[in-house]
Amino acid sequence: MKIHIKVLQGQECSMDVSPEMKVLELKEQVSNRLKIPVNQQKFLVSGKTLADEKCLDDYGVKEGTKLILAIKKNEDSGADPNILRSAGYAFLTRFYTEPEARKVLEEFIKNFHGSVSSLSLDDLERIAAMHLNEASRKETAH
């Protein structure tokens, strides 16, 4: 049977699978095809995360089903988890005293987390697609 896989960053592909296929096997095929490491893949269907040891049939996956593939951040990437906080603080201290900048930043972070946590996967996908399209237009223009 053919299913569709939509990567949150915009890629999309179709794959031939069997209902008895384990989610881990699907991740391995996706890794070979899309070059996304297995340990960074997280599949979702109808808002549920698919467990590696279960079969696709366990989640009601059938011909034409669209699976969402979220790419998990690589823990070994060395990225600063507080990059927004650091950048915000550096920016705000240009205009405010240090205590004022900290206070403004804490309110901003609180509001930011509240706003982001209310977004659905569809919202995040639209935002990502919009920014990726904008970035590719800029690259094409240069």
Place of tokens 């391995």: 28
Structure tokens at 8: 């949150």
pLDDT tens digits for the chain (142 residues)?
Answer: 999 999 987 788 999 999 999 999 999 999 888 888 888 899 999 888 999 999 999 999 999 999 999 988 765 555 555 788 888 888 999 999 988 988 999 899 888 888 888 888 888 888 888 888 877 777 777 6
- Do residues 74 and 40 lie in contact, with contact meaning Cβ atoms separated by under 8 Å? yes
Burial class of 63 by CB neighbour count within 10 A (0 to 12, 13 to 18, 19+): exposed
Global pTM reads: 0.53
